[in-house]
Amino acid sequence: MARRIRRSTGPLDLRSQAILRAVIEEYVTTATPVGSQALVDRYRLGVSSATVRNILAELELAGLLDHPHTSAGRIPTDAGYRWYVESIIDASPLPEVEQLMIRHQFGQVEFASEHWFRLAASTIASLTHAAGIATPAKPAAARVRRVDLVSINDQLASLVVVLREGSIKQSLVTLPGPEDQETLTTVAAVLNDVANDATAARATAALVRLNPATPHAALVMRVGERLVRVLEDYDRAAVEEVFSDGLLNVLGAPEFAHSEKVRRVFNALENRAYLGELVGSVAESGVVKVFIGHENEPPDMREVALVLAPYGRRDRAVGVVGVLGPTRLAYPEAIGTVRFVSGLMNELVDHLYN
Partner DNA sequence: GTTAGCACTCTGGCAGGGAGAGTGCTAACC
Partner DNA sequence: GGTTAGCACTCTCCCTGCCAGAGTGCTAAC
C-beta contacts of 45-50 below 8 A and 24+ residues apart:
45/15, 45/18, 45/19, 47/15
Closest by Cα among 94, 89, 121 to 105: 121
Instruction: Candidates 36, 167, 271, 327: give the one binding DNA (CB under 7 A).
Output: 36
Shorter beta-carbon distance to DNA: residue 50 or 248: 50
How many C-alpha atoms does 316 have within 13 Å on its Cβ side? 17
Q: Does 246 bind DNA (CB under 7 A)?
A: no
Site string for a copy of itself, 98-117 (x = CB under 8 A): ------------xxxxx---
- Cβ proximity to a copy of itself: between 230 and 282 the closer is 230
For the beta carbon of residue 353, count every other beta carbon within 10 angstroms: 12
DSSP-derived pairing of the beta strands 156-163 and 289-292: unpaired
Q: Is 108 in the site for DNA (CB under 7 A)?
A: no
Question: Does residue 73 belong to the site contacting DNA (CB under 7 A)?
Answer: yes
Residues present in the chain in total: 354
**Contact between residue 194 and residue 207 where contact means Cβ atoms under 8 Å apart:** yes
Residue 53 or 145: the one with the smaller Cβ distance to DNA is 53
Regarding 50 and contact with DNA (CB under 7 A), the answer is yes
Show the 3-state SS of 204-250.
HHHHHCCCCCCCCHHHHHHHHHHHHHHHHHHHHCCCCCCEEECHHHH
Stretch that binds a copy of itself, among 37-45, 92-100, 148-156, 291-299 (CB under 8 A): 148-156
CB of 313 to a copy of itself, least distance (A): 14
Query: Which segment (42-50, 75-83, 190-198, 254-262) binds DNA by CB under 7 A?
Result: 42-50
Residue 211 as a binder of a copy of itself (CB under 8 A): the answer is: no
* Choice between 30 and 285, CB closer to DNA: 30
Alpha helices in 62-195, H assignment, sequence order:
78-88, 96-108, 113-128, 181-194
Stretch that binds DNA, among 43-51, 164-172, 222-230, 252-260 (CB under 7 A): 43-51
Over its C-alpha atoms, the chain yields an Rg (Å, rounded) of 26
Positions touching DNA (CB under 7 A) are: 3, 33-38, 46-51, 53-54, 56-57, 60, 67-74
Positions touching a copy of itself (CB under 8 A) are: 110-114, 145-146, 148, 150, 152-156, 158, 160, 162, 166, 168, 170-172, 174, 247-248, 251-252, 256-259, 262-263, 266-267, 352-354
